[in-house]
Amino acid sequence: MIVKNIKLTSFRNIDEELIEFSPTVNVIYGRNAQGKTNIVESIYLFARGKSFRAFKDKEMIMFDKSVAYALMEYEKRSETTKIGAEISRSASKAFYKNGNRVQRTADIIGEFRAVLFCPSHLGIISDSPSVRRNFLDVAISQLKPVYIKLMARYNNVMSSRNAILKMEPTEREQYRDTLDFYSSELASLCSDIANARCEYVRKLDKWVKEFFSQMTSGAETPSITYETNAQGVDFDSRESLKNRYATLLSENLEREYKYGATLFGIHKDDLKIEINGKDARLYASQGQQRSLALAMKMAEGEISREHTGEYPVFLLDDVLSELDPTRRAYVLSNINNRQVIITSCEPQHFEASDTSFIYLSEGKKIKCEVRSAECEVENAKFKVGGENE
C-alpha cells in the first residue's frame, strides 16, 4: 500500500498544498510548529476515520476558515483509489471514495491502512490498560471492519445496561427482563471481541519476540498475553467465552447494583507484558519499555502484511528523536520494502539514497531528492544535515 499524494486545503496551518510521496522513505522535515505532524494527521485520518490528536474535528480546520478538505490518492494492490474528507464547523465530517460519499465513517476504515508511531506510544507499556486496549482495537479494526460495529454495539448495550443498574431498586425491578436481555447480548459481544483480540495477541506475541530478540541480540525474552476476567476457558471457542461471561454477569449482579456499573466484560481487559517472566510495567527499564513499544508497532505492520498481503503505510511522527541512537539505527535499518513517512527536525539522520525529503515551513513545502542533498528553501541553501547557509 502506497500513498501517492495528498492535497490539503485549510487543514490546520496548511492553506493549500499538494504533497507527493515516493514509494519508499519520505522525510518531512523543518523546525518545530511548521505543520509536519499536520500532514501525518491528515493521512492517518483515512486509516482511523478520525484524528489521533484532535479532541474535536473542528480543531483540524484552519483558524479563519469554515471547512477543511483532504484528498488523498493511494495505491492498493496496484489499483489507485482517491479518498477524500470534508471537515466542517457546522456539520459532521464526510468521507468520499472515488467521488462518491461514504454513508458512515466506519465504512471507510480498512480501505486504507497505516501504522502510526508517535511519542505518546512509547508509554504504551506503563500507561493505563485503556491505552493497550485502544492499541488492539485500532489495529484489529483496520483488518476486520466488522470489529468496529461489534465495539459500537458493545458500548451501546453496556451504556443501556448501566442505566438500569443505576436505577433505584423499586424502579429497576420493572426492567429485569430488559436487563437480562442486555446481559445476554453483552456476553455474546464479549465472546466475539475477546476471541478477535486473543487471536491478534497471539500473532503480536510472535512478532514482538522476533523484533525484541533482534534488538537485544537474544539476551531477553518478552511475552504478551491477553488478560481478561473470563480466564480459564478456550478463547478459540466463542460458545465457551459467551457462557463464561454470562455466568460472570449473572453471579455478580448484586455487586454491579452497588456500583451502578458493569464490572465484567472486555472493557476491563488488558495485555500482560513480561520480560523474562517479570511484569514489564513494574520491572522493565525505560529503555526496555521503549524497545517493547517499538517492537509492538513493527509487529502491527507485519500482522497487517500477513492478513492483507501487503504492508500498510508506516507513519513515524517525530518518534526517532525520542529514541536513543541504537534503537533509532534499528528502525532505520528495518524500513526497507515499504513506504515510510517520517517527520523530523533532524534530517541528518537520513542518508539512504532512496529517501525523499520534503521541507516544510509555515505550512508550505518544497520537495527535493537526497541524491542532490540540497534544495532551495526560501532563496537559501539548506543542506541536509547542516545549517542554513
Gap between the Cα atoms of 22 and 3, Å rounded: 8
The answer on pLDDT for 371 being more than 50 is no
87-126 pLDDT tens trace = 999 999 999 999 999 988 888 999 999 999 998 898 999 9
Torsion of CA 165, 167, 169, 175, to 10 degrees: -70
Higher pLDDT, 375 or 209: 209
Average pLDDT of span 249-269? 94
Gap between the Cα atoms of 30 and 27, Å rounded: 10
72-97 pLDDT tens trace = 999 998 899 999 999 999 999 999 99
4 burial (CB, 10 Å; 0-12 / 13-18 / 19+) is middle
271-283 pLDDT tens trace = 999 999 999 999 9
Average pLDDT of span 8-24? 93
Cβ atoms 179, 340 nearer than 8 A: no
pTM: 0.89
Q: Mean pLDDT for the chain? A: 89
Gap between the Cα atoms of 310 and 302, Å rounded: 9
Q: Grade residue 366 by pLDDT with cuts at 50, 70 and 90.
A: low
Q: Grade residue 387 by pLDDT with cuts at 50, 70 and 90.
A: very low
For residue 351, the model assigns a pLDDT of 66
Gap between the Cα atoms of 243 and 250, Å rounded: 11
**Most confident of the ranges 127-136, 329-338, 355-364:** 127-136
For residue 360, the model assigns a pLDDT of 85
The answer on pLDDT for 161 being more than 70 is yes
